[in-house]
Structure 1
Amino acid sequence: MKTFFLSLLLMTLTTVAAARGITGQFDSIDGGPLAIEDWRGQPVLVVNTASQCAFTDQYAGLQALYDRYRARGLVVLAVPSDDFRQELDSAAEVRAFCALNYDLDLPMTDISPVRGAAAHPFYRAVRAETGFEPAWNFNKILIAPDGSVAATWGAMVRPDSGMVRRVIEGFLK
């Protein structure tokens, strides 16, 4: 009987969490908060990034994707992380690197952990809902307008690939 009630409670909590969708607030690289909930109703592509990675050139694809679809509602959020020991030492250095090399104007967070027990709450929520956890830099998580996780991709999938664009286009205005 105890197991039944625990199962019922877990199902209720899971249903409430699913109805709310994935949430989370990051510190912006420019100061202030960036809350996933502020973009509810829009697709949000969240990408853990690193400035000294072999995949760092994907910043260009992220900016191109943002430029192509932002007027139709897409948000691209870069989350610099040093979990794989390939990020610069400070948020100021990351911001300067991205501005100089990629002319980024998409939203960026402060340097944040994305894996394990120390992961940012957003990444812990994604892992709890889907089992997905970044295996390397430039892993991509698409949050649907309703707050659910619509898709995930690893580092080998370029952000401006047809595969990613097709899924995003299904959510655009």
Structure 2
Amino acid sequence: MPETPTSVHDFEATDIQGNPRPLSEFAGRVLLITNVASQCGFTRQYSGLQALQDRFHERGFDVLGFPCNQFGNQEPGDESQIAEFCSTRFQANFPMFAKVEVNGNNAHPLYQHLKAQAPGLMGTQAVKWNFTKFLVDREGQVVRRYASNTDPKDIAQDIERLL
């Protein structure tokens, strides 16, 4: 990773199977990066996220899911339990990563970058809750942040513009 990352592609994350995965492998693709949780009121958004993956994947789009247990302990399981939940309950087949922290001193460097590039309401950087979403263009630049309560289908037009 460069000393000062300039793109999402400069980061690496561990996938849900425990393998290091450079995000440079997503160069040239539009991304929707979101922190997910299995026991949240917004968990139903997995269906909408998968619908976006199904609709736009062939055109160069991926959802990237990052489980996080920082909000109400709503992602208590380990990676194998999370993977099982996503695939059986929601048939989610988009790339999933190992559990991360998105806020605080132990926030994953990717999330530090996402928050700095797309601050929230009134310039706040902290992720407020599960299913906060970041839209990233083909060059790895953060285009927009969406609140937890933003329905994935309402992001489709923005994705379409970037494809």
Q: Distance in 2 between matches of 1:48 and 1:34?
A: 17
Residue-pair matches, total: 155
Flag the structure with larger Rg.
1
Q: Distance in 2 between matches of 1:169 and 1:48?
A: 22
Length-normalised TM-score, structure 1: 0.83
SS at match of 1:92: helix
Q: Is the contact made by 2:79 and 2:99 (CA closer than 8 Å) also made in structure 1? A: yes
CA shift, 1:152, in A, is 0.7
Q: Distance in 2 between matches of 1:127 and 1:133?
A: 7
Higher helix share: 1
**Identity %, equivalent residues:** 33
CA shift, 1:21, in A, is 1.7
Matches within 5 A, 1:1-173: 17=5, 20-22=6-8, 23-84=10-71, 85-131=73-119, 132-161=125-154, 164-172=155-163
Partner AA of 2:32 in structure 1: L
Q: Is the contact made by 1:42 and 1:171 (CA closer than 8 Å) also made in structure 2? A: no
Encode CA deviations 1:78-127: one digit per residue, 9 max, x unaligned.
Answer: 10000111003211111111111001111000111111211101001122
CA shift, 1:59, in A, is 0.3
Divergent runs of 4+, >4 A: none
Length-normalised TM-score, structure 2: 0.88
Q: Is the contact made by 1:126 and 1:133 (CA closer than 8 Å) also made in structure 2? A: no
Uncovered stretches (5+) of structure 2, i.e. residues with no partner:
120-124
Uncovered stretches (5+) of structure 1, i.e. residues with no partner:
1-15
- The alignment's C-alpha RMSD in Å is 1.8
